[in-house]
Amino acid sequence: MKRKSKSIIFPFGLLLVSCLLVFGMSCNSTKMTPGISAQEKTAFTSSQPDTVEISDPESNYEIIIIEPGFNVWLQSVARPPGYYSQSFLETRNRLYVIEWNNRVINNLQYDPNLYELQINYDPLIDYGYEVNYKLYNYFVYFQRKYNQRLGPFAPRI
């Protein structure tokens, strides 16, 4: 008994459109995050040295961020202190720190110029509101400026 073989034939135009669609979807461009305001663009393109010291006198913990434009962004774009609860900030910071540190460790997979140093953030320590507020906002700034995603949700202001 002879079996008939079945084959699927696509018209050339459909095949071409399918290939272009797949190719277009696979291209990963480096566009800035949608919804970037003029104020953010100004902060992101700043080349002046900018150092933000994050400290909490009560807990004696300190973070120093050296990132051009971050202080401008923090003052002009970020939500004001008190907008988020400390528990919200701590939860987000835990997630962001874990992913950040994974990217530092996997420097062949992620740009080592973006992820240089690990962040020592212990979820059992109360770092205070200001430390958590500025650290969280740095993560938002970083993700928006470099079009990165450190968590399951888009970084929004």
Classified as helix, coil or strand, 65 is strand
- Sequence letter at residue 3: R
**pLDDT in single tens digits along all 157 residues of the chain:** 555 544 434 344 433 343 333 334 334 433 445 577 787 777 787 767 677 777 767 767 777 888 889 988 999 999 999 999 999 999 999 999 999 999 999 999 999 999 999 999 999 999 999 899 999 999 999 999 999 999 998 888 8
139 in Cβ contact with 92 (< 8 Å)? yes
* pLDDT of amino acid 40: 78
Query: Which residues on adjacent β-strands are paired with residue 51?
Result: 66
Residue 84, domain member (yes or no): yes
- Sequence letter at residue 94: R
Residue 62, domain member (yes or no): yes
Residue 21, domain member (yes or no): no
Query: Which residues on adjacent β-strands are paired with residue 52?
Result: 65
The parent domain of residue 125 ranges over: 38-146
DSSP letter assigned to residue 154: -
d(CA 128, CA 133): 9
Count of domains in the chain?
A: 1
Residue 30, domain member (yes or no): no
Q: How many residues does the chain have?
A: 157
